[in-house]
Amino acid sequence: MKAPSPYSIVNSKSIVLIVIIFWLAGCSSMFDKHIEYGIVEPDNYPVIKAIGYAPLSAQPGSSDAQKMLMALKVSKLEAYRELAEQVYGQSLSADMTVKGAIAQNDGLKSQVKGLIRGARVVKSYAVGDTYTTELELDMKRVHDLYITQVKPRKVKRVTYY
């Protein structure tokens, strides 16, 4: 019978030792931690204002009352569109056709997408043939609405034990 090589004994002992070290490190409480979060508060809350306009006489309807209600709705939607432009921005795309160094067709398309929550109608009124609606968006109110749905957090303290 052949005697075991000293290298194989050292290798098997070192492998067992490495496995034990990793097992003990994995079971140690050195990697257990408790993270405490706090709410992120902005320094200031701006108030964004927007105005929407709609012509009374151009609205569909058989009576002046129906035209006024339609103008009220349209002016409110226009004000919301303006708020969305201020909050989310506006997407623009342009097309132009040139023939013989002369512009043949020039087009511009604008698009706004967004969700506005928490806006408040300040006032709606008619000025001549135009209906006007004023809206404001208090970002403090938007923040409060956001906090109720999504809990933004920052790490306040980490405790290892």
pLDDT tens per residue, range 37-67: 776 777 899 999 999 999 999 999 899 899 9
How do residues 81-114 score in pLDDT, each as one tens digit?
999 999 999 998 988 888 888 888 888 899 999 9
At residue 34 the predicted structure's pLDDT band, cuts being 50, 70 and 90, is confident
Q: Please, what's the b/e burial string for 87-97 (b: 16 or more CB within 10 A of its CB; e: otherwise)? A: beeeeeeeeee
This prediction's pTM = 0.63
Q: Can you tell me the distance from the alpha carbon of 159 to that of 62, in angstroms, rounded to the nearest whole number?
A: 71
CA proximity to 135, closest of 87, 68, 77: 77
Give Cα separations from 12 to 24, 25, 26, 55 (angstroms).
Answer: 18, 20, 21, 90
Tokens of 126: 């008619």
Structure tokens at 2: 């052949």
101 token code pair: 């160094």
